[in-house]
């Protein structure tokens, strides 16, 4: 029995057995990725820093762009409609829009667009909403899997990190972040020596 295309990735399998193997492998990978998130995202899944969340979402954006490539819209009477082959042959104004284009607008710019160009705003809003829903779902999947991993075996309630455990993870993550930023030289406020001195001072005071 052949299983046909299942997704935009053109998945296909030789048999149900082949599908079962692939599905189990994907599930195992998801578990490993959730563990990586727990180990590398400070306080996750209880909390996540804005910087980490932003980087994570940027990755989701890349994936969603693969699934939903840019679309060409024709501008007719200041309305943005999906361009047909016939429209593309004519001398009609077009715009290529997708995830990157939709999020190139700051929140303030996007808000102003609603009054300045309602049709364009509606076109971009549709892309942004669909992208945000995709990213939200992916984050919730990761968060759910992480919570499952943190449950003690046989327990029906999840295990919460203590404040000390959470802060330890925060400092570990920010230590790595500070090192990278200082090495790259793009952030003049990043100073690993000062950070470590401040971290040690925190623990010295907190453990008194």
What is d(CA 20, CA 101) in angstroms, rounded to the nearest whole number?
38
In a domain, 147, yes or no: no
**SS3 at position 95:** strand
In a domain, 97, yes or no: no
In a domain, 182, yes or no: yes
Considering the chain, what percentage of its residues have pLDDT values greater than 70? 90
Number of domains the chain is built from: 1
- Run of H or E residues at 23: helix 16-40
| 13-22, 26-35, 109-118, 189-198: least confident range | 189-198
In a domain, 87, yes or no: no
Task: Note the Cα 101 to chain centre separation in Å.
Answer: 17
In a domain, 135, yes or no: no
Closest to 150 (Cα-Cα) out of 53, 31, 25: 31
Tens-digit pLDDT profile for residues 152-170? 655 555 556 677 877 887 8
Count of CB atoms situated within 10 Å of the CB of 2: 9
Residue 86: its pLDDT value, please?
Answer: 84
In a domain, 96, yes or no: no
In a domain, 203, yes or no: yes
Provide the domain limits for residue 179. 161-208
Q: What is the torsion angle, in degrees rounded to the nearest 10, for the CA atoms of residue 151, residue 207, residue 168 and residue 45?
A: 40
Reduced to 3 DSSP states, what percent helix, strand and coil does the chain have, rounded to the nearest 5?
Answer: 65, 10, 30
Question: pTM for the full model?
Answer: 0.70
Burial track 38-76 (b if 16+ CB lie within 10 A, e otherwise): beebbbbbbebbeebeeebbeebbeebeeeeeeeebbbe
In a domain, 9, yes or no: no
């Amino acid at each position: 029995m052949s299983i046909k295309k299942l997704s935009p990735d053109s998945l296909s399998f030789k048999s149900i057995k082949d599908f079962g193997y692939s599905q189990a492998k994907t599930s195992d990978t998801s578990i490993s990725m959730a563990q990586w998130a727990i180990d590398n995202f400070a306080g996750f899944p209880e909390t996540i820093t804005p910087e980490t969340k932003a980087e994570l979402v940027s990755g989701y954006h890349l994936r969603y762009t693969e699934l939903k490539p840019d679309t060409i819209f024709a501008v007719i009477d200041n309305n943005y409609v999906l361009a047909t082959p016939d429209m593309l042959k004519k001398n009609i104004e077009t715009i290529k829009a997708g995830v990157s284009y939709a999020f190139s607008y700051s929140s303030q710019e996007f808000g102003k667009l609603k009054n300045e160009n309602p049709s364009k705003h509606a076109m971009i809003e549709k892309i942004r909403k669909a992208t945000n829903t995709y990213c939200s779902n992916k984050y919730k999947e990761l968060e759910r899997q992480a919570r499952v991993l943190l449950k003690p075996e046989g327990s029906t309630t999840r295990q919460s990190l203590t404040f000390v455990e959470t802060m330890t993870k925060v400092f570990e993550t920010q230590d790595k972040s500070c090192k990278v930023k200082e090495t790259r030289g793009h952030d003049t406020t990043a100073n690993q020596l000062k950070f470590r001195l401040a971290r040690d001072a925190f623990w010295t005071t907190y453990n008194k």
